[in-house]
Structure 1
Amino acid sequence: MLFNLSKSMLFYQEEINAILKKFNVDKKQGLSKAEVESRIKTHGYNKWRTHESKSLLSLFLAQLQDALIYVLLVAIAITAYMGEYIDAIIISGVILINAGLGVYQEVKAGKAIQALQKLAALKATVIREGIRQIVDTFTLVPGDIVVLETGQIIPADIRLITSVNLQVEEAALTGESVPVYKDAKTLPSGNHVVLGEQKNMVFMSTLINYGRGLGVVVATGRKTEVGKIAENINTTETKTPLEIRLSELGKTLGKIALGVCFLFFIIGFWQGRPLADLFLTAVSLAVASIPEGLAAIVAIVLSIGVTKMSKKNAIIKRLPAVETLGSVNIICSDKTGTLTMNQMKVMQAYTFNSGFVSRINTSAKADLLQLSKIMQLCNDATLTKHQQTGDPTEIALLDFADQLNINREQINLNYQRIDEYPFDSDRKMMSVIVTNHAKTELLVKGAIDQILPSCSHIQIGTEVKELTETKKQEILKSSEQMSAKALRTLAAAYKPYPKKIEKENWEKELIFVGFVGMIDPPRKEAKKAIAKAHQAGIATFMITGDHKQTATAIAKDLGILQTDDQAITGHEWDSLSSKEQQEKINSLRVFARVSPQHKVNVVKRLQETGHIVSMTGDGVNDAPSLSHANIGVAMGITGTDVAKNASDIILTDDNFTTIVSAVEQGRNIYSNIKKSVLFLLTSNLGEVIAMLVSIVLGMPVPLIATQLLWINLLTDSLPAIALGMDPDDPSVMQHKPRPPKESFFAHKQGLRVLAGGCLIALVTLTAYTYAYSIKGYSPFDSSVPQTVIDYARSMAFMSIITAQLFYALAFRHYQKSIFSLGLFSNKILSAAIVLGVVLQLVLLEVPFLREAFKLSSLSLNDWGIVLTLGLIPLLANEIVKIIYRIKKDK
């Protein structure tokens, strides 16, 4: 059904029933699937304007906006003016093909990033067709009924239907840092009320930091308050540190190359060479020697890599994280759900009257039934045969009631929650006030060390007696026995609530009932992942709110710590001075009973001692530690919107193993980018050296302008991109993490580039001079026929491209042989080499192309020489690798 929303409609002054009627929605049923689809067509998706996709034409034109391209365009005009139309056409063709490849790479990278953004989209809990569902926030439409919970980022502009202790941080919209209390009550009609005072409205992009509620969406996307602001903001894309470093490298090399080419031109001019040819060759050499393809290759390798990571349950939100992943040497992980199964189950229950109860059954005593009732009513989870939602601990408590054969549905009907004091990490308790009309009670569940000191009495059977110090010590001793078995304890208490009490006095003078012991078994795969991380020079820290005994037992099982003195509690940590913390932190592995503030402190201390830290988290209070860490990792299943927003990576499976896999993948991505960069620099250096040596020696240049541009087109696209897509190398996890500021030329890679460039130049000049000798001439003769020069250039041209194509194989690994890697294991690179050779054959054997590039046909013997010379750089590199491995084995 269509409905009309007036721009002047003031929802905060409207009665909620009137608003629901206008949106044609029932708050219990919500919208139907068909109605949602219809409203999406009418109102669009729930997102404001982002960068509009650039047209192919604008992308193409952007590829031409380069100073060297402008010079080439001038060169085209000059050659055309001189009547060298074929040269002009070839140069134009190379420019167009190169720009086309750039467009293809940008489009492919853009699509990959868009796909990742969809994967990382925030979620919202809605009621549709009478069922609570979790949906992507961008699918919300006006009229959707949204469930609001602590830690959630408001997904749209919403008019509240109900609210319970709801507080919203609206600094993102109003600039007011103090949380705003929200109330579903209708505001009195009259003058316009500013956003900050619209108490029954919550707005898109603001944060719920306390309480819960239910509301109806009244505006989405551009029509939201923050959407209206976003419409007027121009955002700019930012580059990753890796892209910035490569851009700076490219500029530096470009300046060097331009200097060399200027020198090339000056020497040629002094030698009296034809100015037009000299200018065109110098410009072409500049284009060929500058690795302008670096940015495009990095973009496509990053996008392919992060897409691959998303398929392995790690969504990279920020591309710089990929580079940082390779340097991580500490992983700080939460225990529950990440290192464990996150499937809590009550294994034991304890009451003072019943003692330890392991086999829970229907003959439970009154105090045990009271314990279960508190755990059920002081609970926000849901558990049915077909669905479960909420915190795993709370789900386990509902399952505990099922073990006692309690009719949970009937209890929920009998009791009504009228107020609550939600759990927070400081109190470590949750309290609710419930009534069944006959009586009103305050029910509390939480950490036993927090609840027990707040109790003055204890329920024993059906009686309530004074809680003596002796009884307290017996309870604590029983709790420690459970913790020693790696069971997590959770206690329950209550008291009558005859009259209204201030919240700060709720949790006093309680009646202790008992506690339960739960276990969340370690993930089987986590132990292997921790061992793998250790082998890679990465230490694993467990940081948890659980008891020290529980944390230590799990950590020992997983291989995180060896001795008990490697574990510390938050309280013990606080007792140390800053200097003592720095001295001790490297010897620790487990932090138990910690608060969010402890997490931040641990991250800072680790960073102060030179570590690169990855931190996991899922709650609102984890956001600071996620932000402070070098890599913040949020849980995709249990994580709050706040944690996800503060993170760099989201794990869609909440699994520690995925973190280690992400580190491994990050290392491989960086390694592949490095391979491409070093290969491009080596190839370009070979061209520059060959050309510069020839002109210094006074020979005719071995490569003319069109040939240089063709080489640049071929090597900057096919093998360079193929190297960037090299299969993952398992051995990357056998090395220590890479220092964050490590240069591409570290570990003698600069020497490798220089040596490779010299070898390629030597091969080129050898083929060139040998071709002269075959025809009975010297390149220094002044009367060499043009046909001989063209033949010599053909040999040099084929040799340099063959050498570069084959040499790409050497860059797959700096140490391993190409045969141990598998000669054809990188099928894309193999195809690139074959395609490169085929294109050369086409260029040489098709008469029109051969004449256009001023080439000559080669005999079978000539091809034997070309292939032999082309293999020399690769074979030389393999020999160096053999020597390296022999020395290493010694």
Structure 2
Amino acid sequence: MFEQKSIKETEAALGSDMNKGLSSEEAAGRLREHGENELASAEQATLWETFCEQLNDPLIYVLLGAAAISILLHEVSDAVIIIVVVLVNAVVGVIQEGKAKKALEALKKMTSPYAVVKRDGKQMEIPAAELVTGDLVYLSAGQQVPADIRLVESAGMRVEESALTGESVPVEKNALLVAREELPIGDRRNMAFMSTMVVAGRAEGIVTATGMDTEIGRIASMINDARQELTPLQKRLADMGKLLSILSVGLCAVLFFVAVIQHRNVIDMFITAISLAVAAVPEGLPAVVTIVLALSVSKMVKVHTIVRRLPSVETLGAVSVVCSDKTGTLTQNKMTVKKCFVNQTLYPAHRLPEGEGMELIEGMALCNDAVAEGNSKLGDPTETALLDLAGTYHVSQKKLRQTLPRTAEKAFDSTRKMMTTVHKKDKGYLSYTKGAPDEILKRCSRILIRHEVRPMTARHREQIRRTCEEMSSQALRVLALAMRQGDTAPKEEDMIFVGMTGMIDPARPEVKEAVERFQKAGVSTVMITGDHVDTAFAIAKELGIAGSPKECMTGERLSELSDVQLQNRITETRVFARVSPEHKVRIVKAFKNCNRIVAMTGDGVNDAPSLKSADIGIAMGMTGTDVAKNAADIILTDDNFATIEKAIEEGRGIYENIKKSVIFLLSSNFGEILTMFVAIICGLASPLKASHVLWINLITDSLPALALGVDENDKKSLMKRPPRKENESLFADGGLACTMFYGILIAAISLTAFLKIPHDILAGSGLAFTLDNVAKVLQNGNVLDRAQTYAFTVLGLSQLFHAVGMRDREKSVFRMNHFANKMMIAAFAVGFLLQFLVTEIPYFIRAFGTAALGMNEWIQLIILAAFPLLAHEVMILASVRPRKAERIIKEV
């Protein structure tokens, strides 16, 4: 707004005084009215409220219900295990909370602690928190801007705004400019913004906004307002929790109805119904998911990725759009000279012909305010790039300055668009002028070609202009150099044209390959930057992100579009340039409204709101601001865009493992439910005791499920698939059929084991094998205990065999590398041992009401329990032949 007002209009609008500044009384009154120049803290939930929020989940409700039921059944140890699982999940969640608070604290640290102002006609230093609108503030090089300021006077002032706007080079300010229309932040050359850094020159200005009304304050508000959404996995697990809750209640109701019809003991049936309801809930699932995600965090560290929020790991696998900041993420955030124009020829900067171009290199190093100190260089990025060029050709600025000491200079300003330095050379003087090519060219009458000074012709001028246009079309920032001999004072006329350099913040070399791999994996890469559209498109084209200017959109154009119009255009656009923090948030939301899972990368303060709004916020660890890091879900420790591809690969593998664990647990639990439900509906005694169900769910199930959760996957194969859809069920790609099939199979073999003892007794007695006869036989306590032991043993062991096959549903168990998952070997062995204990150790036999088994019984039960693995092999064999036939047909 104030960029459109003149200095006088700004002074009048804010009630300021250019000569005296505000009075102390007026400043105090404004401070009381508007508050201190600080960023407001977000309203934070208490620790207890945060903890309770972690328990607000349907699956957690079911687990707490299961714990209560276990207590009713006097299974206190089982209840304790369930409660510990719930508490571990809640504590982990609490630890991961509070990102908005940390982001705002980091923003506060970035604000300037002191400001130089004029009040009552006197210049004084005050705490920046006491600044008010209308204050007259003085700015100088090295100072942080303490508030949003409309400049009223400026002298060679350049401000580093990359953290706020994303622009890769410092912005030159001009107090005299008046905008005709509202401009993006990066184009407001007559404004300075809170938290940015003055790198050169000085200025005076009137404070236009303080605290939360500043541009950085608006970013703080967006960080605070952005709500953390559930990840796709959390949504699926929540849906599953609701389904299991309904199923549990439904089972209880059905069994009570059966009890009434069959005239059973209502109390016994109540206990059985509760046991069945407990069987429906995979108590180990939250623990398995949490442990798998926690273990994956250590894996991610190995690929230079720090995970700040556990559930975000699996979300990586669903990412379909990576929105990336340009500066420092796709590029190196270091201006680099790419082209040199000398002797009327354009060369790559690192391949100048031997002996040529030294005048250009030495002149650019001398007409330069940056300073080289050892391996580090201090100063404007454009000028440090010129020193890097000199270093490439072993030209030392320090030695040059000793040989050609600077005796006079004329500083750069925005009107002339050039700077001049004069140097003592032997018994004479030599001056260099560096600046905008068109301004330099106008003041040159001669040209240096191969160490010889010649008159400049129209042909020379035309060739220089064409070369300048060519470099500009490649988004290179072009600087020209001219020189003049013999003058002790700076003169910028009748000069000798030496040459030009073209520089750019270059793309990271590894990014192009990462973008290609993303395309193969069905992941789109989108550039979002505060830089100019020409520069952005040049980098995007080089990296393969965009191929046509039609795929670019500016922030100005974006502002003209409604949310619906933007949503219609969003999938066709690959580059968003000159955008504000608000634009970035709109872009992320537009992609999300198109059912895309969005990862957003960034390193600056301006990226923080969009990092928090995205499904996955990814901050740069080395160059990123604390604000960006605290707003992000994931931090890249090497600032390497290619690392995102490795992280997504890891995320896909983790989701695949969690999916395997979920299907394994649910198919196993479905087998338990079906086993009990079929027997009870048929009027038989329950094949399993409540303690059997809890033992299998909490002990035998969980260890193999955890082993599946840390399994090694064929990640190359995973990265050839398109990303899964946001609303994709955990049972997609045959998952539901797999769950149902193995659940039915496990129930069938468990019931077979349960009925074996009654069958043998009836067969030995010459009686028919009918439901009535079976029910009568099972009324004998000893027979029922042994039959239940058979069912319990087969049910437990069958799930161990089932887990082995679940490692890969498309590969034979004989082709799997079992030593790649040693945890599965351990889980199988421990599970088998635990199952052995409850049938062979007297204490456990009494506790679980089982019967001791003989060697022959064990052999028979193990063979029966291995049927899920046998079924796995049969299905693999059946699917191999059609694939071979299809391959032969293609070859023919």
**CA 1:453–1:794 in structure 2 vs 1: closer, same or farther (change >3 Å)?**
farther
Question: What's the counterpart of residue 747 of structure 1?
Answer: 733
- Report the equivalent of 1:478: 467
SS in 1 for 2:732: coil
Among candidates 694, 703, 718, match of residue 732 of structure 1: 718
Say whether residues 1:690 and 2:671 are aligned partners. Answer: no
Residue 262, structure 1, aligned to residue 253, structure 2: yes
How far does residue 719 in structure 1 lie from its aligned partner after superposition? Answer: 2.0
In the superposition, relative to structure 1, how do residues 783 and 647 fare at CA in structure 2: closer, same or farther (>3 Å)?
closer
- 2:857 aligns with 862
**Aligned position for 2:651:** 666
Residue 374 of structure 2 corresponds to: 385
Return the offset for 1:479: 3.6
| One-letter code aligned to 1:160 | Y
2:365 maps to amino acid: S
Confirm whether residue 279 of structure 1 aligns to residue 270 of structure 2. yes
Taking the aligned partners of 2:42 and 2:594, their CA distance within structure 1 comes to 42
Structure 1 residue 209 displacement after superposition: 4.1
Task: Please give the residue correspondences for 1:10-409 in structure 2 after superposition, counting only pairs within 5 Å.
Answer: 69=64, 73=68, 76=71, 88=74, 91-103=75-87, 153-155=107-109, 159-160=113-114, 183=138, 208-209=195-196, 211=198, 239-317=230-308, 321-331=312-322, 333=324, 338=329, 345-346=336-337, 348-350=339-341, 359=352, 369-374=362-367, 376-377=368-369, 383-387=372-376, 395-402=384-391, 403-407=394-398
Q: What does the per-residue CA deviation read over 1:519-543, in whole Å, with 9 as the maximum and x for residues that have no partner?
A: 8887665455344333322344667
Query: TM-score by structure 1 length?
Result: 0.66
Q: Deviations over 1:198-221 (max 9, x none)?
A: x9xxxxx9962453699xxxxxxx
Sequence identity of aligned pairs in percent?
A: 33
Shift of 1:800: 0.5
Distance 1:548 1:360 in 2: 30
Q: Which has the larger radius of gyration?
A: 2
- Per-residue CA deviation, residues 122-174 of structure 1 (Å, 9 max, x unaligned), is 8xxxxxxxxxxxxxx99xxxxxxxxxxxxx944277533889xxxxxxxx999
Q: CA deviation at 1:337?
A: 5.7
Deviations 1:361-389 (A, max 9, x none): 99977665443344x42x5xx75435568
Report Cα offsets for 1:40-79 as digits up to 9, x if no partner.
xxxxxx999997699999999x9999577567657756x6
Q: Give the one of 821, 827, 839 matched to 1:844.
A: 839
Pair 1:70–1:236, CA change in 2 (3 A): farther
- Once residues 311 and 135 of structure 2 are traced to their aligned partners in structure 1, the CA distance between those partners, rounded to angstroms, is 35
Residues 597 and 871 of structure 1, relative CA distance in 2, 3 Å threshold: same
> What runs of 5+ residues in structure 1 fail to find an aligned partner?
1-12, 14-45, 80-87, 123-136, 139-151, 164-171, 186-193, 200-204, 215-225, 497-509
SS in 2 for 1:349: strand
Aligned partners of 2:860 and 2:303: how far apart in 1?
47
Write the deviation string for residues 277-322 of structure 1: whole angstroms up to 9, x where unpaired. Answer: 3322222221221234433333333333344323312334555644
Contact residue 244 and residue 281 of structure 2 kept, 8 A: yes
Moved more, 714-723 or 644-653: 644-653
CA contact (8 A) 2:447 2:497 kept: no
The answer (yes or no) to whether the contact 2:51–2:90 under 8 Å persists in 1 is no
More divergent stretch after superposition (66-75 vs 647-656): 66-75
Amino acid at match of 1:595: R
Between stretches 283-292 and 704-713, larger displacement belongs to: 283-292
Q: Which residue of structure 1 lines up, in the alignment, with residue 805 of structure 2?
A: 810
Cα gap change, 1:491 to 1:819, in 2 (>3 Å): farther
Aligned partners of 2:447 and 2:455 also within 8 Å:
no
Q: 1:56 to 1:572 in 2, by over 3 A?
A: closer
Report SS of the residue matched to 1:779.
Answer: helix
> Shift in Å at residue 103 of structure 1?
4.5
Q: CA deviation at 1:266?
A: 3.2
1:761 Cα deviation (Å)?
0.9
Contact 2:600 2:617 in 1 (8 A): yes
Q: Secondary structure at the match of 1:790?
A: helix
**Cα distance in 2 between the residues matched to 1:75 and 1:597:** 56
Q: Secondary structure at the match of 2:443?
A: strand
Cα separation, partners in 2 of 1:752 and 1:782, compared to 1, 3 Å: same
| Number of residues of Structure 1 aligned to a counterpart in Structure 2 | 739
Give yes or no for contact 2:703–2:831 (8 Å, CA) kept in 1.
Answer: yes
Check conservation: 2:115, 2:137, Cα contact below 8 A: no
Amino acid at match of 2:870: L
Report the CA distance between 1:853 and its aligned residue.
0.6
For 1:771, the equivalent position in structure 2 comes to 757
- SS of 1:596's equivalent in the other structure is coil
Distance 1:207 1:677, change over 3 A: farther
Measure the CA separation in 2 of the matches of 1:582 and 1:395: 42
> How many Å separate the matches in 2 of 1:175 and 1:804?
69
Provide closer, same or farther for how the CA distance between residues 468 and 884 of structure 1 changes in structure 2, counting only shifts above 3 A: farther
Alignment-derived partner of residue 637 in structure 1: 622
Q: CA deviation at 1:490?
A: 3.6
Q: Distance in 2 between matches of 1:181 and 1:828?
A: 68
- Which residues in structure 2 correspond to 1:684-723 (within 5 Å)? 684-723=669-708
Q: How far apart in 2 are the matches of 1:318 and 1:75?
A: 32
Offset of residue 661 of structure 1: 1.0
Alignment RMSD (CA, Å): 6.2
Q: Which segment drifts farther, 620-629 or 91-100?
A: 620-629
Q: Which residue of 2 aligns with 1:34?
A: none
Q: CA 1:775–1:182 in structure 2 vs 1: closer, same or farther (change >3 Å)?
A: farther
Q: What secondary structure sits across from 1:796 in the alignment?
A: helix
Q: Which amino acid aligns with 1:713?
A: L
| Cα distance in 2, alignment partners of residues 234 and 734 from structure 1 | 37
Partner of 2:642: 657
- Greater shift, 746-755 or 600-609, is seen at 600-609
Which SS does the other structure have where 2:776 is aligned?
Answer: coil
How far does residue 465 in structure 1 lie from its aligned partner after superposition?
14
- When normalised by structure 2's length, the TM-score is 0.66
- Tell me, in whole angstroms, the C-alpha distance in 2 between the residues paired with 1:673 and 1:153: 37
8 Å contact 1:844–1:856 — kept in the other structure? Answer: yes
Q: Which runs of 5+ in 2 are unaligned?
A: 1-22, 24-40, 118-127, 141-145, 152-163, 165-192, 202-216, 424-430, 485-494, 764-772, 887-892
Question: Deviations for 1:742-798, whole angstroms, at most 9, x for unmatched residues?
Answer: 111222211221112111111110100012223447532257421111000000001
- Distance in 2, matches of 1:413 and 1:121, equals 50
**SS at the partner of 1:821?**
coil
Distance verdict in 2 for CA 1:469–1:588, change over 3 Å: farther
Map of 1:596 onto structure 2: 579
- The answer as to whether partners of 1:711 and 1:801 remain within 8 angstroms in 2 is yes
Shift of 1:323: 4.5
